[in-house]
Structure 1
């Protein structure tokens, strides 16, 4: 089977949740015997050497596209009553550009990563009569809606964000309805997708972890009273989450455990995080290898209050044998509980209490880490979840061929 994979970004190196999801789907498509033509949109030129480094035995092409959220663009889409999230990833000549890169006569199925790739995928599907699948990494409108609901009553952003989530909700409903199949990442997202489009074909194919790569070493020394978070700070909700923890939880922990440390890993952390160094915050920024930091740390934190889908970094932390203390929002879509190493905390008091329990009980912490690893092995491998997509795509292709006879 030959798959055209359309992505809103070049997903390499796979160093944040969004890239990790797309990259591993690509690799598993290849690993499980398919041919793949990936076409990625990118704000920046990508060197051919980078493409060669990551493409393996597939094909990767780049379409440069300016998707920066400028003030002019925001005002323009607001006045036009159009979705910023969808429209900025589409141009009138996009179909022609894809056709110049890929021989569409060879393609059996189109795979669109994220809702903002659905418009062009569906246009190609209609033109070439090729089945299309939509990977719902998130129910995107819901992220915008949650952001809207968190804004103050008199915040001027409410007008724009309110407009945008409603526009996006309508578009996502249409995209899910028009796609031959949609792959939700969680049970909850499947329910939400069917609320948008009750007659749609929606199947759960969760996110995963390469369990051979993300393997813990329980013999490595764990720094006492150590915490870690790894994320990307290009998304301001992640900045707000860490800032909340630094302002509210870390001071409490520092008063009880003067040697507490929090390693902050990820691209573009704001300079304000440096102000918390005396409390134990260590702003590391981007690192090539996250795993050594996971191996040497006792607890992973995920204090996000706005989001959707599934947090792949939480899955990776659990796979590395780290107990995770997370808000309900961060833990959404992961069917693990406290006994499996995923501990939920939604207030300052809950967060400081749960982390203290783990700091104070080495036996409990290690046991929960081992159970966390077992949970990932049983439920969240890329191989098993991408296999679900391949099976469904094979059915669609076979059905198309049968109808053609």
Structure 2
């Protein structure tokens, strides 16, 4: 990072959701990146409104938008909200998914269509900005190649095409498998087309940088890690055998992970009578998950919980058996930040430099996951020491304050 004072820039920040409140993966990454940028620069925010992202946290969408506006204006930013044409009802989303089968663009681009945002963008004087941050590739379906490429940087929360490829590979239903495979190709084709015009990008992990570089070699790709606000003090009263998962259960990688846990791992826990209790927290759990969980008296589905501190405090470890998804998992960094050792797959730890049996437990099969759980409750396996090393890793590499400061300096030094 430069030791010189930050040079104030005029920043246009275009987002596919309202980055408030800082709860949940997408919200935490963007809110965290913005933190120091708001202090150091003159920021104009253009945000699409996704009602389903706001709904769990506010009594109404209008209340959420009002609080978000108040927050960002108190930080000196100008902010505007724009409706999404395909987010009005579930029927609109289903119609968009169907129409995406016969269009060149993928669903992720068609879904983010906003006539209001497109019209507003066409009226902007881009000469009045020094730096333009586009928070996801799909927004370029509205913006096309109209932005000045020399001062536009596209953020990637994950490498979308590789995430969709994974989903296609593991899907067992032929029709869905085919749909996801087609979507993966469309995403890759759209991203490659736009990357030939917009050559400056930021990603949250080296894995995502490698995936983008394979699409179009020669891109300018900076790794700006995901981060969480480091907690300098945490209270731990762990109970042996008390395990925790936190993550939105309407997000398919989380849904898949919990389904796998309930179908493959919980029967083994029950069969061998292992003294374990699993708390699963996350908004919008499917009926199928609730029904599967009801078979086990050692599993509790909580749904959305406003105050999760007591769960972090009392859990012995955090379970994250992801088999799908992309990007760096903020749920994992959150757990590490609270001092919980994380038991997770390679996918769970993507972008996080965890060392097995030192700062976390890397497990990639049902057998090794079950064995690790047994060792945890039978020997206590020095879990607190591993949790503390994970916390230290967050402090050193994944503190959102430090990451936001670095991004602010990147903007300041951008020419």
1:73 aligns with 2:96: yes
Name 2:158's counterpart in structure 1.
Answer: 138
Distance 2:351 2:397 in 1: 12
TM-score (norm 1): 0.88
Partner Cα distance (2:110, 2:355) in 1: 39
Match of 2:38 in 1: 30
- Deviation, 1:124, is 4.6
Match of 2:47 in 1: 40
The within-5 A match list for 1:73-222 is 73-98=96-121, 104=126, 106-120=128-142, 123-126=145-148, 131-152=151-172, 155-212=174-231, 215-218=233-236, 221-222=237-238
Q: Could you say if the C-alpha distance between residues 340 and 173 of structure 1 is closer, same or farther in structure 2, counting changes exceeding 3 Å?
A: farther
Gaps of 5+ in 2: 1-8, 52-60
- The separation in 1 between residues aligned to 2:305 and 2:122, in whole angstroms, is 37
Equivalent residues in 2 for 1:244-263, closer than 5 Å: 244-256=260-272, 259-263=275-279
Give the 3-state SS of the residue equivalent to 2:228 in structure 1: coil
Aligned residue for 2:45, secondary structure, equals strand
Q: How does 1:235-314 map to 2 (within 5 A)?
A: 235-256=251-272, 259-275=275-291, 276-277=293-294, 278-314=296-332
**What is the match of residue 83 of structure 2?**
64
Mapped partners of 1:142, 1:232: distance in 2: 21
Change (3 A) 1:385 1:177: farther
Structure 1 Cα separation of the partners of residues 117 and 50 of structure 2 = 14
- Structure ranking higher on relative contact order (CA contacts 8 Å, 6+ apart): 2
8 Å contact from structure 1 (residues 300, 317) kept in 2: yes
In structure 2, how many angstroms separate the alpha carbons of the residues matched to 1:187 and 1:2? 29
CA RMSD between the two structures: 2.3
8 Å contact from structure 2 (residues 131, 151) kept in 1:
yes
Q: Which residue of 1 aligns with 2:239?
A: 223
Give the paired residue count: 389
Normalised by the length of structure 2, the TM-score is: 0.86
- What's the CA shift for 1:92? 4.8
SS of 1:4's partner is strand
1:149 to 1:335, Cα distance in 2 relative to 1, 3 A: same
Task: Specify the SS of the correspondent of 1:40.
Answer: strand
Q: Deviations over 1:241-277 (max 9, x none)?
A: 1011012212323444554211111110123333424
Q: What does residue 402 of structure 2 align with?
A: 384
**Displacement of 1:291 after TM fit?**
2.6
CA deviations 1:173-203 (Å, max 9, x no partner) are 2333322521121111111111111111111
User: 2:93, 2:111 within 8 Å by CA — same for their partners in 1?
Assistant: no
Deviations 1:80-114, CA, capped at 9 Å, x for gaps: 232111122134553322467x7755422111112
Q: In the alignment, is the contact (CA less than 8 A) between 1:42 and 1:63 conserved in 2?
A: yes
Contact 1:134 1:176 in 2 (8 A): no
How much does 1:119 deviate?
A: 4.3
> Matched residue of 2:347: which SS?
helix
Query: What are the equivalent positions in structure 2 for 1:385-404 lying under 5 Å apart?
Result: 385-396=403-414, 399=415
